[in-house]
A and B are shown apart, each in its own frame.
Chain A
Amino acid sequence: MDQEKKLPRRAMIKAAAISATAAFVGKVNLPATEQPTNDDPTKIQGTPPGKVGTRSPFEQPSKKASDISGRTPLQDLYGIITPSDLHFERSHAGVPAINPDKYELLIHGMVERPMIFKLKDLKRFPAISRIAFIECSGNFRSGKETMTPQEICGLTSQSEWTGVMLSTLFREVGVSPKATWFLAEGSDAAVMTRSIPVEKGWKDAMIAYGQNGEAIRPEQGYPARLFLPGWEGNMNVKWIRRIELSDQPFMTREETSKYTETIKDHKIRQFSFDMDARSIITYPSYPQEVEKGWIEIRGIAWSGRGKIERVEISTDGGKHWQYARLQEPVLDKAHTYFRYLWHWDGSPTEIMSRAVDDTGYYQPFLKQLIDARGAEMGGYHLNPVTSWLIERGGRVLFKPEKWK
């Protein structure tokens, strides 16, 4: 009944009218969001097939948007693939509208043959698909107990990306062996640029045009984007229009005044590309509530450096740690789902997860990050262990830690 209350009243009234009509007509094309609910769905014809699927009106996961970004509702997801319309977004001048027939990618600079590829050209090359996460490197928020996983670290999402390996295009244009960096430039209104080591381009970079089996969404770079597995989101330049091979970085605004972090002795760290290992429990988390008894703790873990080796769970505030079960598939540089069955006796406690990747890196506590980088550390590349407080009544709250 609670759920029914959430349905718009308009939909309910319309539904009642339609169901009366349906008895005569027999076929009514009603969007699922406008569907009536029935106490007994076996006594009324359901919706006929439609052109696109829809979510149940009872399920309304949504991005949490600010002026510059939209966050993935991690607490509402059950697996490792982020539904494309819930993939986080971050843009510097909004989402451009690009006509795929006019789209072109220029590759020039230290190459034998500067070339232009239209979208249809890119699609002719042998393609690969890869499931991997993209995470914004400014992906840690804290400060109050009533924060959801989405608010704390919802700037990470995962898709199956399809496209052409950048190495294939590098061979096509004949990249000079003396080239050490390349500039990737987007065709948004910020004409956003990042410098990337050529080595990454040869290793595993991709020009992606597919996301979860369909064309990339505009918010994710339609019609084509750069995809750099495991590296900070900003470098995965969306709406990519130009790649320039060079023998030095260009020191653009995004790799100098942004996406660098203050560390100890007032030093500023630049070219921090890899996303370090991290995890978060998404169930139970705020604003969920739990009951005494068996609880399957669930969440995601990921590392930009490789595979998740294991996830450790503590249900007593970090005194003892147990291994979680990792849900297959456990993929390289990918969100990995974990589960841990726990019997809660109803007393207040604190639960947390800690990821370990296959380089042997342990997800740090916030204090370790502060010790390593200083209290003035910048907001990029923060991946601390995240704790949830479970109160006696079953309420779950984020445990914010102060550092500034």
Chain B
Amino acid sequence: MLRSISIIGMLFLLVACKGNNEKFPERYGFGRLASQAEIDSQNISIRPDGHGLPAGSGIAATGKVIYLAKCAMCHGPTGTEPTANRLVAPFGDTTKSKTIGNYWPYATTIFDYIRRAMPFNAPGSLTNEEVYHLTAFLLCSNHIIDSTKIINQVTLPEIVMPAKHLYVDDDRKGGNEVK
């Protein structure tokens, strides 16, 4: 009895599959077109080549003032303090901490991340100008630029970060090897 039921069941499945006449369209027409204004209001991404960087500029001295007011409470007065989020250690420094100076491969990431997520207690509250100033301060503190360098949408992507040359792409690919 059980066997006959299962055979009937299998036949039914076969018929159901054979009888499946679904047609999947290339497009469904769900959702709506986004306007350029809608895209611009959300698109804050910045590429390593500088695409997406806004107008504005910054210098280290002004950045230091903003840093002390809005960042130092977590990152320490100079950024060199051994916090969990240490920001400053020039390339070659023997510290074990990964910092902008000894680890970050692209300077554009500094601007992008600060503007996205900082300060921690008021994310997204900084003006583009403030972010440029802070970026200049952090680059200067990490001995990547000098204190007179103006950071803007042209100069920022030109900076070659000290750790950039250390980066290699993942080459693990499964199989019987450990990488």
Contact = CB atoms under 8 A, between A and B. Distances in A.
A124 interface: yes
B91 to A, nearest CB: 11
A248 B172 contact: no
B98 to A, nearest CB: 6
Given A118-B31, A191-B116, A106 B170 contact: no
B170 A272 contact: yes
Contact of A360 (B34, B120, B170, B174): B174
A191 B30 contact: no
A121 B31 contact: yes
Interface string B88-121: 0000000000101001111011001100110010
A126 B30 CA distance: 11
A283 to B, nearest CB: 27
A60 B107 CA distance: 47
A151 interface: no
Query: Could you tell me the dominant secondary structure of chain B's interface residues?
Result: loop
B28 A271 contact: no
Contacts of B117: 92-93, 189-192, 253
Nearest to A305: B174
Contacts of B77: none
A242 B34 CA distance: 12
B27 A172 contact: yes
Interface string A165-177: 0001001100000
Nearest to A191: B116
A274 interface: yes
Interface in B140-179: 163, 166-170, 172, 174-179
B123 interface: yes
Interface in A201-251: 241-242, 244, 246, 248, 250-251
A135 interface: no
B28 A108 contact: no
A158 to B, nearest CB: 20
A359 B174 contact: yes
Interface stretch (A47-55, A260-268, A394-402): A260-268
A257 B104 contact: yes
Quick one: which of A125, A190, A248 has the most chain B CB within 10 A?
A190
B124 A191 contact: yes
A89 interface: no
Contacts of B179: 372-373
Interface of A: 92-93, 106, 108, 113-118, 121, 124-126, 168, 171-172, 183, 185, 189-193, 241-242, 244, 246, 248, 250-253, 256-257, 260, 263, 266-274, 276, 305-306, 357, 359-362, 364, 368-369, 371-373
Given A115-B33, A257-B98, 12 more contacts: A116-B32, A125-B28, A189-B117, A190-B117, A244-B43, A253-B113, A266-B166, A267-B166, A273-B170, A274-B170, A274-B174, A360-B176
Interface of B: 24, 26-28, 30-34, 38-39, 42-49, 98, 100, 103-106, 108-109, 112-113, 116-117, 120, 123-124, 163, 166-170, 172, 174-179
28 contacts: A93-B117, A108-B34, A114-B34, A114-B39, A116-B32, A116-B38, A172-B28, A190-B117, A191-B117, A192-B117, A244-B45, A250-B47, A251-B106, A253-B109, A256-B104, A256-B106, A257-B104, A267-B168, A270-B167, A270-B168, A274-B172, A276-B174, A360-B174, A360-B175, A361-B176, A362-B176, A372-B178, A373-B179
